[in-house]
Each structure stands twice: as C-alpha cells, then as structure tokens.
Amino acid sequence: MAIYINEPAHTFNEYLLIPGYSGTDCIPANVSIRTPLVKFKKGEEPAITLNIPMVSAIMQSVSGEKMSIELARNGGVSFIYGSQSPEDEAAMVARVKAKKAGFVPSDSNLSPENTLADVLALKAKTGHSTIAITEDGTSSGKMVGIVSSRDYRVSRMDRSEKVKNFMTPVDKLVKAKYGITLSEANDIIWDNKINSLPVLYEDGRLYGFVFRKDYDSHQENPNEMLDSQKRFVVGAGINSRDYEERVPLLLEAGADVLCIDSSEGFSEWQKITLEWIHNTYGEKVKVGAGNVVDRDGFLFLAKAGADFVKVGIGGGSICITRETKGIGRGQATALIEVCQARDEYYKETGIYVPVCSDGGIVYDHHITLALAMGADFVMLGRYFARFDESPTPTRTVGGTVVKEYWGEGSNRARNWARYDLGGEKKLQFEEGVDSYVPYAGPLKDNVEKTCAKIKATMCNCGAITIPELQQKAKLTLVSATSIVEGGAHDVIRKEKDGSDR
C-alpha cells in the first residue's frame, strides 16, 4: 500500500520567525553570515566557506561569467550552467579564473611595430588602457615597454605613428621579478604611486600584471571569495551522462566546486557520478548533489559522498514540474525534514554535510527562514536573473523594464540532461517556462540590502551566527489571514516598486 503523509507540505511564505531575546552585543555589525559550502569533519574547517549564504542557480539565464565574477566579489559563488558543451563551459570557468588574481595575464598586447591606430582599436575592444608591448606582440613575449593613455595625445599625433616611438620603454618602468608575493607587489605599487606593475620572468618575458584597481577593489569588497591564488572562486554544473569528459575540462579550467544538476537526484546515476569523481580525483574535488526533498534522499546522497546536498523539487519560480509530473514537495517542509536528517547524520558520523535550499525564494526574508530551518545556504535563480550581471538583455515590456528568465527544463534551454532518466537524449516535454522578471539594477546594491535584512532579522532572533540562528530560531506557521495582514493592508498604497522581491 502507498504511504500517505496527511500533513500538508508548507512553503516559506507560511512561516514567520518569532523574535527571541537579544543582548546589546546583538547588532548587525557583529553578525557573521559566513557558512560552509562543502562537507567537513567535526573539529575541522570546510575547504570552502561562503562569506554570504547565497549561490546563483545553474541556469543559462543566470550564471554566466559576469554573474560569477560579481557574485564572488560580493561573497557568494555562482555555478556556471552545464547546458552547453563541456568546452564552452570550461572556457567560461577559465575566463572567471583569469579575471583577477592579484597577478593577471596581460590581455592587451601589441608589438613595437604596431601603430597608434592599433592601440586605439585594441583599447576600444578590451576597454583596458594599459597595453603591454612585447617583441612578438603576445602576452608572454619579451617585454619592451608599456603604452598607457599618458603616452599619447590623439589630437596631436598621426595614427600611423609606430608604438616604439611613443611607448614607455621597459628600462624606465617600475617592474617586479616573477616570484614576488602579492603583498610585496602591492607595496611597490603604493610606494611608486603607479597604476600597474609588470611582473617579468628572469629572461625578460612577461608573466603578467598586478593592478592598483584590483587592490582597491579588494578593499571595497571585503567579502570577496578568493582561492589560494587570489582568483575568484567559481562553481560549475555537471550532469550524470558526460562527466568523464566534462569534469576533467572543468577542473583544468580551475573550477573550485562542482554540482550535479538534476531536477531529481535520489538516483543511482548520481551515486555512479559521485563515485567516479571521487575514485578518479580523491576527496579534494568537491561535488554537490541533488535535488532531494526528504530524509531518504539526503541520506542516500550523503552516503554516496556528496559534498553538499541540494533540496527542492518544483518550487522554482519558472518550474512546472509539479504540474507536469505530479512530483515535488513544499519547500519549507522538505527543507526541515532534510536538515533534521543532516543533523542526525552529523551526530552519528561526525561529518557535516551542508544543505542548500534551492528555488522558491520570493522575498528576502525567505532566505532567513531557510537558514533558520537549517539550510546552510540558498540557491537562487529568479533573484539573480533580475540584475545587470545576468547574461540576458534588458528590455521594456508594457512600460516595465524587464530581463528574460527561462527554466532549464523549458524548450528554450532544452537541458535534457537535467531531466535525464536514461534512454533517449532529448527533452520529451517541458518542465519549465520562459518568462520576464522585473529589472532590479546592479547585483551589489541588491545583495547588500538583502544581507542587511538577514542580519537585522538574526539580531531580532538573538543570533549573531547562522548556527546560532538555527539553534535559537522559533518558527510559527501562519494562517492565510495573517499572511494578508503581513503586507500593507487597508490603505491605498501610493507606490509599490516591487524591489523587495
């Protein structure tokens, strides 16, 4: 006989937090929202800790390279979408890793025989004003000088003027030797009041640059997620079909963490994939798995070696899986059950497997609810799709500025591998829609506001860390009538910009 669960499954919107006692030290400035991304043993530190509890969804319309860079700059991590060829995905990862280090490979290079016209064309193409001049015009050739905007006056010079006649030659440049540390490089930049420092190999070939603006950027973005070489941390989606081909390319490109992207992850395919990766690379390669919605699904993936487990079926804003296939579970109920299983697993084994709540976040306070219910971090699609950094163009529809946002199970994305059950490699029916979301501006402003709200609520609950929130939180189910009471009511609103969702 079938098993019946007669309690309805609930969503975030049906819960509220009840404030707890807060002492005078419980102020937003003292709150840390750092949280583990991957599993760790009791008493040890996780290999990757997020500075904010937010990651961006493994979706074409969300996680491209711009999003990955900006989210890492602000403390979270993106998972670049896997619904593209392994080569294209790996190239995207590589571009994120090359974006900034401290040490950046030079992406604007010319030879001394090039002309001012070439300089202007290259500057227009890359947007960068510092151009390395090397003997052969490549990024690793022998360095002979630099051209920056201070070296030429467009109004006074002929466009055919050769670079060698107006560049600053290498012997006049402040430069450093390969092997220098980043902090030594930054000291040289400060002491000499320069904007960029070329770093050269012993034989004079160019290794790369350290830029002053990157130092400034780190001061402005103290939450930056950086790897041991000071490159942005980035994740990548994989599937349980082509992992033998895709995973090596992604790792070579520098992906810090992988995640098996599937709408339903309680399956032997995920176990096989996890085993192959761990047998091939050992424990140093980190892989999340999912999605599941109950205790059994969590325990299966934890035992199979998942480094984190994602929870959520059918709650995504663009998702029609529940309508189409009749599977899924209210996100709050699913999360609460999985987090209880995670805590029991930790008690039994001493291994803490972080839980990610994926999909269905509508208001910022849903993130705090998810954390209070036990999630270590949340994955968001719609939220990030609204920002400048998402890969889709901004459009005006019916007088409203919008961005496009489509599901991986829609005809537009055709991510058959996410819905793969073995058999034919095609999407037989849609499980997602194509849509618009209201444009909401730059990621940084929005994420800062969201994090301020999370911290404020944590203070109201008397918690200054996420684990403390999880221990202290008191949550109540609310009636349909009190949900209405929770918004502005019985007044005529003058304006509503919708920026809070």
Q: Is the peptide bond before 460 cis (omega within 30 degrees of 0)?
A: no
Instruction: Phi first, then psi: give them for residue 172, nearest 5 degrees.
Output: -95, 0
Q: Does 59 bind ligand RVP (CB under 6 A)?
A: yes
Residue 61: CB minimum distance to ligand RVP, A: 9
- 149 annotated as ligand-binding: no
Contacts of ligand RVP in 204-223 (CB under 6 A)? none
**Three-state SS across 107-175?**
CCEECCCCEHHHHHHHHHHHCCCCEEEECCCCCCCEEEEEECHHHCCCCCCCCCCEHHHCCEEHHHCCC
Q: How many CB atoms lie within 10 A of CB 233?
A: 24
Q: Taking the mean position of all CA atoms in its chain, how far away is CA 189?
A: 30
Site string for ligand RVP, 155-184 (x = CB under 6 A): ------------------------------
Residue 22: CB minimum distance to ligand RVP, A: 30
Q: Does 374 bind ligand RVP (CB under 6 A)?
A: no
- 75 annotated as ligand-binding: no
Pick from 359, 366, 386, 446 the residue near ligand RVP by CB under 6 A.
Answer: 359
104 vs 229: CA distance, rounded Å: 11
The H or E element that residue 54 is part of is: strand 54-56
Residue 405, exposed/middle/buried by CB under 10 A (0-12, 13-18, 19+)? buried
Q: Does 334 bind ligand RVP (CB under 6 A)?
A: no
Site string for ligand RVP, 375-394 (x = CB under 6 A): ----xxxxx-----------
Question: Inter-axis angle of helices 331-349 and 364-372, to 10 degrees?
Answer: 30
Residue 431: CB minimum distance to ligand RVP, A: 4
Q: Is 418 labeled as catalytic in the residue annotation?
A: yes
The tally of CA atoms less than 13 A away on the side-chain side of residue 14 is 11
Pick from 355, 361, 427, 440 the residue near ligand RVP by CB under 6 A.
Answer: 361
Q: Does 407 bind ligand RVP (CB under 6 A)?
A: yes
- 435 annotated as ligand-binding: no
Q: Does 409 bind ligand RVP (CB under 6 A)?
A: yes
346 contacts: CB under 8 Å, gap ≥ 6: 42, 352, 353
36 vs 461: CA distance, rounded Å: 21
User: For residue 226, what are its two tokens?
Assistant: 């950086």
Judged by DSSP in three states, 402 sits in: strand
Q: Does 287 bind ligand RVP (CB under 6 A)?
A: no
Nearer to ligand RVP, 83 or 109 (CB): 83
- Judged by CB under 6 A, how many residues of this single chain contact ligand RVP? 23
**Considering 386, 418, 451, 461, which one is annotated as catalytic?**
418
User: For residue 311, what are its two tokens?
Assistant: 């929870």
Given the rule CB under 6 A, which of 180-188, 268-276, 330-338, 359-367 is the region that contacts ligand RVP?
A: 359-367
Given the rule CB under 6 A, which of 312-320, 342-350, 468-476, 485-493 is the region that contacts ligand RVP?
A: 312-320
Residue 363: CB minimum distance to ligand RVP, A: 12
- 263 annotated as ligand-binding: yes
Interface residues toward ligand RVP, by CB under 6 A: 57, 59, 312, 316-319, 321, 358-361, 379-383, 407-410, 431-432
**Which are the catalytic amino acids?**
319, 418
